[in-house]
Structure 1
Amino acid sequence: MDASPLAPWEDPRAQPLIRFRNVTKSFGAFTAIDDLSLDIFEKEFFALLGPSGCGKTTMMRMLAGFEAPSSGVIELAGQDIAPVPPNQRAVNMMFQSYALFPHLSIWDNIAFGLKRDKMPKHDLNERVEAMLKLTRLEQFASRKPHQISGGQRQRVALARSLAKAPKLLLLDEPLGALDKKLRQDTQFELMDIQETTGTTFVIVTHDQEEAMTVASRVAVMDHGRIIQADTPDRIYETPNSVYVADFIGDVNIIQGKANSGEGEGYRIFWSEGQPPLQASSSTDLSTGQSCSLAIRPEKVAISAERPEEAANAVQGKVLDIAYLGNLSTYHVELPNGLVIKAQTANTRRISRRSFTWEDPVWLSWTATAGVLLAN
């Protein structure tokens, strides 16, 4: 089957817009980026995600031209960009602080880079008006930055960054200064604008929800390396390591030893006196190999009685309950002290909870609900 044009990373014939080839960046004895190779394709909305100090901002600064690789090559549209100064790259960067000129109007902030490039006046006017329309700022054109809201300033910075039609737009924690509700609304605006312009966006964020919402692909980073780069659904459903499973969303991790069963099936010996857990894995594990079973809380069912047909069922008592409005998360302590989280959707009003603190309950899940990972 041919790869979808919406997923060029699955097409061996597709040419990447950005290519990192064995890139290392060191600051003295500290290695910020460690022999990293990565392809990013045209029109992608690509997210670099990881904890502080994992190297994501260093990658972005190298793309912008503010840092040079210690070794390896970074290509943009097939060209090694190391010798190209920042102001001559077809790359623009939008900073978290927005860096708007306080004394200039919104219109003039957007026009600033175009005027410096001596764009003809008629073309410049057309371009600025198009950017105001794209970011829905037409009625604010004559205002100064302090006269508009934080969300609107964010859109001005975006309009100014896109005005010069860069091949690549870099966004460094662009929504970090916004409150949660506005940030969520702005994420969808960003996606619409990216789709409309067709510009390749690379966003740096430590907010998993943001990365999972906006990105076509997410690269999860740690200590200067990319641990997994994939679509948000694959990162969530089929993480390639305990690190990725644990970093993205909420997860239960059960440690054990694998014993192969039938086909892709394994029995996991995980606690003395407890029956083995059933799990399937496309990864080959040898008998007795140390492994981790990663199960998302929403895939764990909670019940008062032991479900008859369940592939996996364990008993425990309710330790904590987190009520999140649309969801309730039950923290259930097993006899060996392990706490497993089970999530239920609150589809009806809660007049009385099904379970409360200290209640004995059964947790169950299917053999395919978890992801079995080698340690």
Structure 2
Amino acid sequence: MNSTKFAPWADPEAKPLIRFQNVTKRFGTFTAIDNLSLDIYEREFFALLGPSGCGKTTMMRMLGGFENPTEGRIELAGKDISGVPPNKRAVNMMFQSYALFPHLTVWDNIAFGLRRDSKPKPEIEARVAEMLKLTRLEKFAKRKPHQISGGQRQRVALARSLAKAPKLLLLDEPLGALDKKLRQDTQFELMDIQEKTGTTFVIVTHDQEEAMTVASRVAVMDEGRLMQVATPDRIYESPNSIYVADFIGEVNIIEGTATPDGEETYRIDWADGQEPIRATSARSFATGEKCALAIRPEKVTISADRPAEAVNAVQGKVLDIAYLGNISTYHVELPSGTVIKAQTANTRRISRRSFTWDDPVWLSWTVTGGVLLAE
């Protein structure tokens, strides 16, 4: 998605398609959603991301009409949808299990909802043809679900969900059943289809890579609350808490205490016998305030000697090496026992590694390399 052109959330005039206003959902004494407010805009591909039990599926079920909020209101296109039954909403839901009818052909599965709405035959035929083309299933129209692959079944479920042109499509862990390679291909297909149809997609996933790939914006959730809602690059580069930094991708968290040291610059005392490290932050920290520096492994440089100009440099020894083809991740243990990960790109074929186990190495990073967070 080209976010330079598409950013309705940054436009104060834009009206959201979906609006959660102070929504709380309780099941008995358990609070699944805790006073949550969120706006989602038309044509967004919006991801609800979080661990099991964080409330993301409950939010989706409330949008679909399978649950009603205990408090607060949910609006779709400006209208309160509480109490509107699922089949009367301009919303469709695609389940993780796909829920295809095994005895119906691909064509009939896609036509099912249109027939139930008693649409005229020519209209059904035109719409099904359009959906088959969109999901590249024309060749499989006469087959039954058990005669096609998992990835194709996934596309049939998608075509059936989109056939009635819903304003909003809800996708519950839609790629969970696919293997990794197919899942990656399908992510791009989903983005392509979403772009072509202009339908607003809301996807529930616990797979951070998936959310970061497909979404225009991501809401990271924990225990029924929104921890951060932002574009994938902001979530990754500027997490607002240790929880978000730690949940998305690999990260080093260095805890210490901050001392102001020039404009928006801080000295962080973090381990006995280690020089303080320096970091910048637009958020102000008081002298002695507890803080944590979150720094991604790819921002940490590994070298045999201490780099002359390095602002932040620590020495340790290589404890572990993870070779992932295009990158290698070095786990380096410092004298204090802290382990810091550094990543290097493998641009050449490796005949021999620059560093191996137990080698003494230096790790360094710039003053702006990490994000300074409150404890």
Q: Which residue pairs with 2:42 in the alignment? A: 42
Q: Which residue pairs with 2:267 in the alignment? A: 267
The Cα shift of 1:273 comes to 1.6
| 8 Å contact from structure 2 (residues 100, 109) kept in 1 | yes
1:98 correspondence with 2:98: yes
Per-residue CA shift, 1:59-109, capped at 9, x if unaligned?
000000000000000000000000211100000000000000000000000
Q: Which residue pairs with 1:69 in the alignment? A: 69
Q: Which residue pairs with 1:237 in the alignment? A: 237
**Partners in 1 of 2:269 and 2:206 — Cα distance?**
35
Per-residue CA shift, 1:250-270, capped at 9, x if unaligned?
000000000001111000000
| 8 Å contact from structure 2 (residues 305, 361) kept in 1 | yes
**Partners in 1 of 2:351 and 2:4 — Cα distance?**
48
Alignment of 1:1-375 (within 5 A): 6-375=6-375
| 8 Å contact from structure 2 (residues 65, 83) kept in 1 | no
Aligned letter for 1:31? T
Aligned-residue sequence identity (percent) comes to 79
The Cα shift of 1:234 comes to 0.2
**Partners in 2 of 1:4 and 1:317 — Cα distance?**
43
**Partners in 1 of 2:4 and 2:252 — Cα distance?**
34
**Partners in 1 of 2:198 and 2:311 — Cα distance?**
47
The Cα shift of 1:193 comes to 0.0
Aligned letter for 2:166? P
DSSP-derived class of the 1:329 partner: strand
DSSP-derived class of the 2:306 partner: coil
The number of residue pairs the alignment matches comes to 373
DSSP-derived class of the 1:139 partner: helix
Aligned letter for 1:292? A
**Partners in 2 of 1:130 and 1:351 — Cα distance?**
52
DSSP-derived class of the 1:136 partner: coil
DSSP-derived class of the 2:233 partner: helix
**Partners in 1 of 2:222 and 2:154 — Cα distance?**
28
Aligned letter for 1:324? L
TM-score, normalised via structure 1 length: 0.99
The Cα shift of 1:275 comes to 1.1
Aligned letter for 2:214? V
Runs of 4+ in 1 over 4 A off after TM superposition: none
DSSP-derived class of the 2:282 partner: coil
The Cα shift of 1:5 comes to 5.2
**Mind listing any 5+ residue stretches in structure 1 that lack a counterpart?**
none
TM-score, normalised via structure 2 length: 0.99
